[in-house]
Amino acid sequence: MNKDDARKLIAIVAAKKLEGYTKNDFLTSLSFKRALIPPDLIDRFIEGCLKDKLLVEKNGKYVPNFNSDGVIVPLDFTVDPDRLFMDSGERPLIDRLLDTAASSGRMTKKEAIVRAKELIKNMRYIDIETAIITVLSDNNIDVRQFVLEKEKNILRNQ
C-alpha cells in the first residue's frame, strides 16, 4: 500500500475530529463526498491501513496511528487505486524510505532528503539510500527491513 496516499486519505476522514471513525465515515468521506475511492474498495483500504499500522482499531472504531493534523492534502489530490494498493516491494528503495519518513509523522520527505544530503556532504563512501536510512534511524524510525534489504543488495552486487 502507498502509505503517503493512505495517510492523506485518512487525514481527509480525520478532519471531523472524532474519537474514532467507522467504515461508514470512510465510505461517506472518500467515496461519496470526494469520489476518491470506489465504494467497493473501502474494505480493502481499511484492511491495508490496519495491516500497515496506519490505523488501529479501538472499541469497534478506527483511529489514525499518526498525527493527522500534520498531513497536508492538496486541493487537487486524486487517487489511483492501482498505485494506492501497489505492493511496496515493487517500488524503489528510496521511494519506500521516503514514504516511511513521511508516514512516521516525525519528518517530511523533503526534510529527510535535506538531512541526508548534509550527511553525504561529509562522507565519501555512502550513497543517498544509506544516508536516508541513517537519518531515519537517528529519528527513532524503524528501518530494520530496509537495512536487511540494503545488505542483500550490496552482497548481490559484489
Q: Are residues 69 and 97 in the same domain?
A: no
Considering 23, 51, 84, which residue would you say is the last residue of a domain?
84
Phi, psi (deg, nearest 5) at residue 55: -125, 150
The Cα–Cα gap between 126 and 141 comes to 20
Same domain, 43 and 105: no
14 and 53 within one domain: yes
* Separation of alpha carbons 105 and 141, rounded Å: 10
Q: pLDDT 10s per residue in the chain (158 long)?
A: 888 788 889 999 998 878 889 999 999 999 999 999 999 999 999 999 999 888 999 988 999 988 888 788 888 888 888 888 876 556 778 888 988 888 788 888 999 999 999 999 888 788 899 999 999 999 999 899 899 888 887 887 76
Number of domains, the chain: 2
Which of 56, 84, 112 represents a domain boundary (last residue)?
A: 84
What spatial distance separates the first Cα and last Cα of the chain, rounded to whole Å? 31
Alpha-carbon separation of residue 20 from 39, 88, 110 (angstroms):
20, 27, 30
